[in-house]
Structure 1
Amino acid sequence: MIAIIDTGLAYPFEDGRIGERRALLVRPLAFRPAHLERAALFSVGDDTRQAQILDVKRVKDAVGIFTSADQARNELGITVKDAKELVQNIARQIAFGQVHRLFHGGYFSSNLSINGELLDFGSFRSLPDWEKSFAMDHVPPFGEEMILLTQIIESLFFHLNKYRVEPGHQLEKVGLIELAKTTIESEFTSNVHTLWGLNPEEADEWKRLADCTANYYKRQQERLRSYASRVEQRGEWIYNSIVGASTDERILNEQSWIDEIDDLLRAGYGNDERGNRTRTISWLTASRLLEPRIYLFREVLQNCIYGVIGGDATISPEPAAVRALVDRIVSESRRHWPLLPLGFQVRSQVCSACSSALICARAVDGAVFAWLEGTVIDNCWVAFNAYVPLAALTSHVTVSQGSRVGVLVPLPAMESVESSIRVVIDGIGIELPAPVHQYSSALNPHIVELR
């Protein structure tokens, strides 16, 4: 998103009522898979019969650019080399969303970029569990995203083969569909490893644990939820069982699954003190990633937004209040920190603009650290308005991805952080805001006891 422009206007209904205040969203231009498809209702506005001929030319031009290797691809931001890579990227998005319960609402060629990024979040929902959930009753639900991806593949197969200008390798529909299925399966497993804080290089050793988690996911998928029709088959969710004991029969029914997972973790880590610490971190990592994102539930998020912008369409919201809301929602809702090294328990977090701070405990010895993430600008690492020369980070553990850099800073021993704290890197002080979201450190006694 580049900008949100307040128009100062409100939506007028046909019956004369004045609706909500309107704004314009400015975002980068996105070449989409839909640009490779014919548009049956394409019109040039002059009511002639040339519209469909012009649409054919439009599609040929788009297909020509996508299948070429010239500069035009770079100018349009196309980074995938072909349709296979596009399909794999979409499949990765699907698998990540399934494990982390982030449902885009519907994967269509019109709301994805040509590189597989998600666009248009009008029907997006963060789900409380792995139930088969319908954002809209006429669109395939969470868990059945492959239905729509198959339709995208079939359309790409037809249009790329038909409108290719230069002769080239013909797409094979069955091969693309199988590629999508195998990618979703492998990426689902990879994200399950992330869920438990496991080393991806030891995937083979944790296959049974990944299978056990996948079986629980499938069991959850037997229940249905419709947000449009307000229908829900309520049931258990494993997060509630992980963070504490309960007499709720639904939670007690989860105990066999908890026992199976714990047995696999004990077998993998061992029962000595270090193994038990690491096993506990695995449970706490799963607890963090399985905790529902309350502020990303659609209705809750809408209420938060309306609470800031108010009901008076004639009054512009304060920019500072909008920024504070965005920071709070991100701080409360983010769960996945791919740059964070393995073996750390996240106790609390806060985000502001492009900066993040996590208070963590290390599994092997319980030592406390701040994990700070910021952006590289002009050869400096920038976090919470502090500029630190990159050379000053050499004495710290750092992990980078593109312009994003994470830095591990030791802290004095503490049980919790309730207020802002100051850390120093090479003589440069960084003021960290008070944590916004605290994670539960409670675990079901059945998990933590030494059996």
Structure 2
Amino acid sequence: MHDQLASPISRDAGVAAEVFFPEPDTGTGILRRLDAGLEAGSPQALGPNMCVAFSVRRLPASTLAWINTRWFLENGVDVLDAGVLDALTRDLLERYGVCADDGQGGSQLFADRYGGTGGAFHGGSGRCGILGGFNAKGIGRTPLVSPNVDKTHSTGVMTLNEAIKEVIDSEVAAAELPTGAVPILAVIETGEYTQTDAGPERCAIVVRPNFIRPAHFERSIFFGDSGTPASAQFIDALRVCDATRAISARRPDVYPIEDMAGRVATQVGAAWALRLFQGQFLTSNVTVDGAMVDFGAFRSVPSWRRIHGMLGECFGNEGNQIAGALDSLYFYFSKYVPARQDAAALKDIYANVLKAADRTFQAVALRALGVDPAENAGFAKAFPELISAYFRAQQTTVLPFQDRGETRAVWIYDTLAPGTVDVERLPARERDVTRQLASLLQAARSSGTVSLSRAANFFSSRPWLTYTISTSSIRTLIRKLPDDLGVRAEKIARFVNRHVSCSRRYWPLAPGRFDIHGQVSDLASSALYGFDRVEGRPRVWLEGTRTGGGLYLFGRVVPRDVLADSLVTDGGRGGIFADAAGLAPDLVLPPPAYAYPAWHRAPEAV
């Protein structure tokens, strides 16, 4: 994430207020050492009115169900060491293996206040509590739960099914989207059950690093009492005043709304291209950095048609929701930081959001096809305009919510497959642009600009990321979990790895000349099996997590000096061909967990 606020600003302009970081009273080990680097990204950094304390009690039966090896390795915690992992497990359970109680618990967490576009009935986080640099979701009802909350959120708990789904979805989003996702760092089983429509289900808590939402700068005008300085509404107004001034003072040369809008636009454009649908766009389910957060409705969609979600939201319609969010944010920033606002600029910001989203959509599609614009200027000029036109044409078809995928209709992927495709039944506008795009791709394949494998992989579906298939398979896993804690954790980890391995379709680090035929991932590292079109031979592309000592690859760390200049890097990730000079010859690679259909491959690669 980019720089967050190091200190809040008081309501008296220009006067620094005291930083409000409640001292964690549990855990003196690994998490405490990580706290300092994460608290600046906490809502608490925006001012003293951002959070409300509530009492929690320990859950003696809580156990660690899953841990994010990738994230901890990236952040300097060697969880490959059994002693370190044991210490981290104790820290996590001591701090976050808790639930909200009636004030008798003796320990506290802090629920962050936030609002929403058009107001909000909740006061902020209704089932999430902050302690140190992290927050725990699923800890029970906080003081900010709305009395009008739906049944699912009324208890404040989270099911193990929800938690595992969030792990899978967030890891796919983090790997493929330009501004990533807030990661799930650990899943804790509470040892308790909650009653759902599907019957009693195991409860769980997910632990995440702290983050700031655009909703932290919006009021919650329908929550709580009013009329006194101690009322919920009075404190909520102070909160927004603090927060808007704090973020404006942190980077005086940057207009906060424009900065947030640009990052969100980049994320939305990439999600369109990759057909990843978070559901209804809200200022509470994205961070100020543009990262996705909260994945309850997240899923893949099979095409670019305007598919409805469970609550009536539409894939591809995020622009209208972003416009409402910008209006709301502008209202509060202009109220509390008037010197920084320009009403005329708001229209430009919104126009730029749509342009940025479209540019990112086109760029991701080009990158997924393995096309370097500098080397293929003709295709790089014709393709972006045509792929955007195809997206817009598909968006004219509105489909009702169908979680297992839409009714079969011709999609550009079908034109790549062997045999004939009947496009005549498509609406005229979609039919014409489908023909044009299919013709362009065919010409590009004939010239060697785009490979069949690259195109077919990119346009292929992700059935394991549909909501029904994902949740039903997780429910089956949970039903079959054994009592042995070690075996349980191992089975959950293997399940998550397999789902992510089977769901990835975009590998930004992989060279454009490399066609991927099969893939496997343990989240912290991946192996892509395929064909190098330049060298004309099968090869394996490896991606791993960068650590202080080198690159983590399937259970071991390859020293930095061995990798030399062959390593391609992006943030915390690194990529290299398995046959690169000096790479450990005894590195054991797992077989592919997912193989693309055989027809995706060119004849010379078979």
Check whether TM > 0.5.
yes
Matches of 2:471 and 2:305 in 1, distance apart?
22
Matches of 1:329 and 1:312 in 2, distance apart?
17
Partner of 2:324: 151
Matches of 2:392 and 2:282 in 1, distance apart?
24
- 1:266 Cα deviation after fit: 7.2
- SS of residue matched to 1:215: helix
Partner of 1:358: 528
Matching of residues 220-369 of structure 1 within 5 Å: 220-227=394-401, 234-246=408-420, 249-250=422-423, 260-261=436-437, 264=440, 275-276=447-448, 278-279=449-450, 281=451, 283-310=452-479, 318-369=488-539
Partner of 2:554: 384
- SS of residue matched to 2:250: coil
- SS of residue matched to 2:586: strand
**Per the alignment, do residues 299 and 233 of structure 1 end up closer, same or farther by CA in structure 2, a change over 3 Å counting?**
closer
Partner of 1:167: 339
- SS of residue matched to 2:591: coil
Matched residues, number: 413
- 1:364 Cα deviation after fit: 2.6
Report if aligned partners of 1:424, 1:430 keep a CA contact under 8 Å in 2: no
Partner of 2:591: 434
Partner of 2:568: 399
Matches of 2:494 and 2:481 in 1, distance apart?
20
- 1:31 Cα deviation after fit: 1.0
**Per the alignment, do residues 251 and 379 of structure 1 end up closer, same or farther by CA in structure 2, a change over 3 Å counting?**
farther
Range 117-126 or range 188-197, more displaced = 188-197
Matches of 1:377 and 1:230 in 2, distance apart?
39
- SS of residue matched to 1:118: coil
Task: Write the letter of the residue equivalent to 2:323.
Answer: T
TM-score when normalising by structure 2: 0.62
**Per the alignment, do residues 125 and 181 of structure 1 end up closer, same or farther by CA in structure 2, a change over 3 Å counting?**
same
Partner of 2:206: 25
1:65 maps onto 2:250 in alignment: no
- 1:268 Cα deviation after fit: 6.4
- 1:331 Cα deviation after fit: 0.6
- 1:312 Cα deviation after fit: 8.9
Partner of 1:109: 283
Task: Write the letter of the residue equivalent to 2:587.
Answer: I
- 1:293 Cα deviation after fit: 0.5
Range 192-201 or range 227-236, more displaced = 227-236
1:38 maps onto 2:254 in alignment: no
Report if aligned partners of 1:8, 1:314 keep a CA contact under 8 Å in 2: no
Report if aligned partners of 2:404, 2:466 keep a CA contact under 8 Å in 1: no
Range 148-157 or range 190-199, more displaced = 190-199
Task: Write the letter of the residue equivalent to 1:334.
Answer: R
**Per the alignment, do residues 443 and 399 of structure 1 end up closer, same or farther by CA in structure 2, a change over 3 Å counting?**
closer
Partner of 2:81: none
Deviation digits for residues 191-215 of structure 1 (CA, Å, limit 9, x no counterpart): 2212432114468632322222223
Partner of 1:52: 233
- SS of residue matched to 1:236: coil
Matches of 2:247 and 2:365 in 1, distance apart?
34
- SS of residue matched to 2:558: strand
- 1:313 Cα deviation after fit: 11
- 1:48 Cα deviation after fit: 7.9
Root mean square deviation of aligned Cα:
3.4
Matches of 1:31 and 1:132 in 2, distance apart?
30
Partner of 1:98: 272
Structure 1: 5+ residue stretches without partners: 74-79, 411-422
**Per the alignment, do residues 287 and 306 of structure 1 end up closer, same or farther by CA in structure 2, a change over 3 Å counting?**
same
**Per the alignment, do residues 266 and 312 of structure 1 end up closer, same or farther by CA in structure 2, a change over 3 Å counting?**
closer
Matches of 2:434 and 2:543 in 1, distance apart?
33
Matches of 1:127 and 1:103 in 2, distance apart?
7
Report if aligned partners of 1:190, 1:200 keep a CA contact under 8 Å in 2: no
Task: Write the letter of the residue equivalent to 2:340.
Answer: G
Partner of 2:29: none
Selected match of 1:11 from 194, 197, 204: 194
Matches of 1:364 and 1:255 in 2, distance apart?
35
- 1:261 Cα deviation after fit: 4.2
Matches of 2:402 and 2:382 in 1, distance apart?
37
- SS of residue matched to 2:205: strand
Structure 2: 5+ residue stretches without partners: 1-183
Partner of 2:10: none
Task: Write the letter of the residue equivalent to 1:57.
Answer: L
- 1:384 Cα deviation after fit: 0.5
- SS of residue matched to 2:340: coil
**Per the alignment, do residues 231 and 168 of structure 1 end up closer, same or farther by CA in structure 2, a change over 3 Å counting?**
closer
Matches of 1:183 and 1:347 in 2, distance apart?
32
- 1:387 Cα deviation after fit: 1.9
1:182 maps onto 2:317 in alignment: no
Selected match of 2:293 from 119, 122, 127: 119
Matches of 1:255 and 1:37 in 2, distance apart?
44
Task: Write the letter of the residue equivalent to 2:503.
Answer: S
Task: Write the letter of the residue equivalent to 1:407.
Answer: I
Matches of 2:218 and 2:562 in 1, distance apart?
51
- SS of residue matched to 2:212: coil
Task: Write the letter of the residue equivalent to 1:89.
Answer: R
Report if aligned partners of 2:390, 2:434 keep a CA contact under 8 Å in 1: no
Matches of 1:384 and 1:13 in 2, distance apart?
38
Partner of 2:307: 133
Matches of 1:190 and 1:350 in 2, distance apart?
25
Deviation digits for residues 272-295 of structure 1 (CA, Å, limit 9, x no counterpart): xxx44x44x2x3211111111110
- SS of residue matched to 1:364: coil
Report if aligned partners of 2:215, 2:284 keep a CA contact under 8 Å in 1: yes
**Per the alignment, do residues 267 and 9 of structure 1 end up closer, same or farther by CA in structure 2, a change over 3 Å counting?**
closer
Task: Write the letter of the residue equivalent to 1:153.
Answer: L
Task: Write the letter of the residue equivalent to 1:11.
Answer: T
Matches of 1:231 and 1:336 in 2, distance apart?
20
Matches of 1:324 and 1:231 in 2, distance apart?
26
Matches of 1:191 and 1:10 in 2, distance apart?
42
Report if aligned partners of 1:33, 1:110 keep a CA contact under 8 Å in 2: yes
**Per the alignment, do residues 356 and 192 of structure 1 end up closer, same or farther by CA in structure 2, a change over 3 Å counting?**
same
Task: Write the letter of the residue equivalent to 1:298.
Answer: Y
- SS of residue matched to 2:518: strand
- 1:51 Cα deviation after fit: 2.4
Matches of 2:591 and 2:564 in 1, distance apart?
27
Matches of 2:425 and 2:292 in 1, distance apart?
38
- 1:136 Cα deviation after fit: 2.6
Task: Write the letter of the residue equivalent to 2:200.
Answer: G
Task: Write the letter of the residue equivalent to 1:2.
Answer: L
Matches of 1:40 and 1:401 in 2, distance apart?
42
- 1:170 Cα deviation after fit: 3.5
**Per the alignment, do residues 2 and 337 of structure 1 end up closer, same or farther by CA in structure 2, a change over 3 Å counting?**
same
